[in-house]
């Protein structure tokens, strides 16, 4: 039983190393409209694989076994193909399939460790299987949402300049209807002061008639003479 666990661990290490190298290859060489997104995604995945490889190799050593460490050994043990995809979509599909295959390699280790009552190896396989299933899901989601970027829409035609009086007319039309139906209250007309009566023209007082000169002669004498 212990040999089955050791063999399953060696295959897991070989699969992880080849997939790490393939992911880094695609990280370097991906091109296209989604370059930046995939460049970062591949980088995150090959960094995680590199850390996982170290954990697997050290676990093999704790069981008293030698760890494979050459490309010749890895290629003889692995079920993962080397990276040959050229387009971004083919790279993503290739990596998604490789992670799904690695999840099956983890399942083989889980079964072997369970039969051998090797809880540590089983726990390691369960953790790695979770990582590969998550990576496969992310890559498949990227493929299903990958679309060709639409062509840039033509620039809208420039609006013709309107006369300067247009804003005033538009503002008058846009005035609320209430303003027309409800005229502003009329202001009370200011009270006018009563006109002063014209003063009557003062006529000059009539001059008194001149009194007849006194007749110093005796009228009787005038009649008799």
> Is residue 95 one of the residues assigned to a domain?
yes
Q: Does the CA dihedral 41-44-47-53 come out positive or negative? A: negative
Asked whether residue 18 is domain-assigned, the answer is yes
Element (H, E) at 74: helix 71-77
What CATH number is associated with residue 96? 1.20.1260.10
Is the C-alpha dihedral spanning 150, 138, 88, 35 positive or negative? positive
Count up the domains in the chain and report the number: 1
Would you say residue 41 lies in a domain? yes
- Say what the pLDDT of residue 3 is: 87
Domain containing 139: what range?
A: 2-144
- Cα Rg of the chain (Å, integer): 57
pTM for this model (two decimals): 0.64
- 203 falls within a domain: no
- 138: Cβ contacts below 8 Å, ≥ 6 apart: 41
pLDDT digit string, tens, across residues 95-147: 999 999 999 999 999 999 999 999 999 999 999 999 999 999 999 998 755 44
Q: What is the pLDDT of residues 156-198, one digit of tens each?
A: 555 555 555 444 544 445 444 444 445 555 555 555 555 555 5
Does any domain span residue 80? yes
**Within a domain: residue 149?**
no
CA–CA separation, 138 and 40 (whole Å): 13
Which of 140, 15, 124, 27 has the alpha carbon at shortest distance from 79? 15
The whole-number average pLDDT for the span 14-41 is 96
Whether 207 is covered by a domain: the verdict is no
pLDDT for 224 equals: 44
Does residue 47 surpass a pLDDT of 70?
yes
């Amino acid at each position: 039983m212990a040999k089955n666990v050791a063999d399953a661990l060696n295959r897991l290490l070989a699969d992880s190393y080849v997939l790490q190298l393939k992911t880094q290859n695609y990280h370097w060489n991906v091109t296209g409209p989604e370059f930046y997104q995939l460049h970062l995604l591949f980088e995150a995945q090959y960094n995680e694989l590199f850390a996982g490889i170290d954990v697997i190799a050290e676990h093999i050593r704790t069981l008293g076994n030698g760890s494979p460490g050459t490309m010749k050994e890895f290629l003889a043990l692995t079920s993962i193909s080397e990276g040959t995809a050229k387009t971004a979509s083919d790279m993503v599909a290739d990596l998604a399939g490789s992670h799904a295959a690695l999840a099956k390699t983890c399942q083989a280790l889980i079964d072997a460790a369970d039969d051998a009552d090797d809880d540590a190896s089983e726990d390691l396989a369960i953790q790695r299987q979770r990582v590969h299933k998550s990576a496969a899901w992310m890559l498949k989601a990227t493929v299903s949402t990958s679309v060709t970027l639409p062509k840039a829409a033509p620039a809208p035609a420039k609006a013709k300049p309107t006369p300067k009086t247009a804003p005033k007319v538009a503002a008058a039309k846009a005035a609320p209807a209430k303003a027309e139906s409800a005229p502003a209250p009329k202001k009370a007309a200011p009270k006018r002061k009563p006109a002063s009566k014209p003063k009557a023209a003062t006529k000059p007082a009539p001059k008194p008639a001149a009194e007849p000169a006194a007749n110093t002669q005796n009228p009787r004498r005038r009649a008799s003479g």
